[in-house]
Amino acid sequence: MAGSFSDFLQGTSPPHEFIDTIGHTTLYFVYIGVAQLVALTVGAYGLNHIGERIATKIRHAYLTAVLRQNIAFFDNTGAGEVAIRISTDVNLVQDGISQKIGLIAYGVTGFFSGIIVALVKEWHLALVMFCVPIAMILMMSMLGGKMKRFQEAAGLEYGKSGIFAEEVISSIRHVRAYGSQDRYIRRYNDMLVPARRQDFNGTFSLGILMAVMMLIVNSGYGLAVRPSHRTSHDRTNTFLIVLAE
């Protein structure tokens, strides 16, 4: 389609041939879109179903293992820690199976498909453009590790504050009798401060990661479509490589 537009704008293709070519090529986009819609729908439904079943089995196994522990195990366990772990940690596992696996499969297949198309169309420029995925992988490995550590620390801090809230609510009669509401509220707010700080650091790292990734991608586009004295056919191939990436 890019080559058809280029030939028509340069006057090398008559209007009726341009219309026929565009109409024929557009059908391929429609077919690809329908196939992609069906594949993504089936994949999303299947992964969600599998993730839900695995999460249910993990919850059952976790609760069974907790109930088999010795009574001394619960001396160092908060009132609502077991329920919080079952609800939060298992939900992370379910999200990883239902969403992250699908995104990884979609990204990996798109990555290798783009490389194949680029090497077939113009392998010289494709070798030069390999600097883009390499830079993105290096950036993701550096900032992604920091973001993961911040998120894990935030999860631990939120878990501690949740356990404290569960213990206070379970003893609400004593708290109300001694008038300790304000003191426990201040203590709970103090416990949320490091959790919010770690959460902000994780979100900030994610923002920097996305900004740097877009900078690398747009810089790669600028490198690929830079002005030169190449022929129309070479420029069309360059544009197709950029689309493939």
Please write the tens of the pLDDT for every residue from 157-207.
887 888 888 788 888 888 888 888 888 888 889 988 988 898 888 888 888
User: If phi over 0 gives left and psi between -120 and 50 gives alpha, with beta otherwise, what is residue 227?
Assistant: beta
Name the pLDDT band for 77 (thresholds 50, 70, 90).
Answer: low
Residue 38: its pLDDT value, please? Answer: 93
Res 31 pLDDT > 90: yes
CB 144 within 8 A of CB 207: no
Q: Same domain, yes or no, for 19 and 69?
A: yes
Q: Is 158 found in the same domain as 115?
A: no
Do the Cβ atoms of 198 and 152 come closer than 8 Å? Answer: no
Same domain, 96 and 202: no
Range of the domain at 150: 130-245
Both structure tokens of 227: 């002005």
Q: Which residue has the higher pLDDT, 234 or 210?
A: 210
pLDDT given for residue 243 in this prediction: 47
Q: Are residues 78 and 14 in the same domain?
A: yes
Helices 232-244 and 101-121: crossing angle in degrees, nearest 10, is: 170
What's residue 34's pLDDT?
A: 95
- Quick check: 35 pLDDT over 90? yes
Q: pLDDT tens digit string along 220-230?
A: 888 877 554 44
Confidence at 235, pLDDT banded by 50, 70, 90: very low
Distance between the two ends of the chain, CA-based, in angstroms? 16
Work out how many domains the chain is built from and give that number: 2
Q: Are residues 187 and 232 in the same domain?
A: yes
- Nearest C-alpha neighbor of 79 from the set 152, 159, 22: 159
Q: Are residues 97 and 152 in the same domain?
A: no
Count, residues in the chain: 245
11: helix, strand or coil: coil
Residues 16 and 48 in one domain: yes
User: What's the CA angle centered on 57, arms 77 and 72, to 5 degrees?
Assistant: 20
45-62 per-position pLDDT tens digit: 888 888 888 888 888 888
- Same-domain check for residues 94 and 176: no
pLDDT in tens, 101-128: 888 888 888 888 888 888 888 888 888 8
Last residue of a domain, one of 72, 93, 121: 121
- 242 pLDDT band, cuts 50/70/90, is very low
What pLDDT score was predicted for residue 95?
Answer: 82
137 and 114 within one domain: no
Reported as a single tens digit per residue, the pLDDT across 12-28 is: 778 878 888 888 888 98
d(CA 35, CA 49): 21
Residue type for 152, please?
E
**Greatest pairwise CA separation for the chain in angstroms:** 89
Looking at the whole model, is its pTM more than 0.75? no
Within 70-130, where are the H helices?
A: 81-84, 90-95, 101-121, 123-129
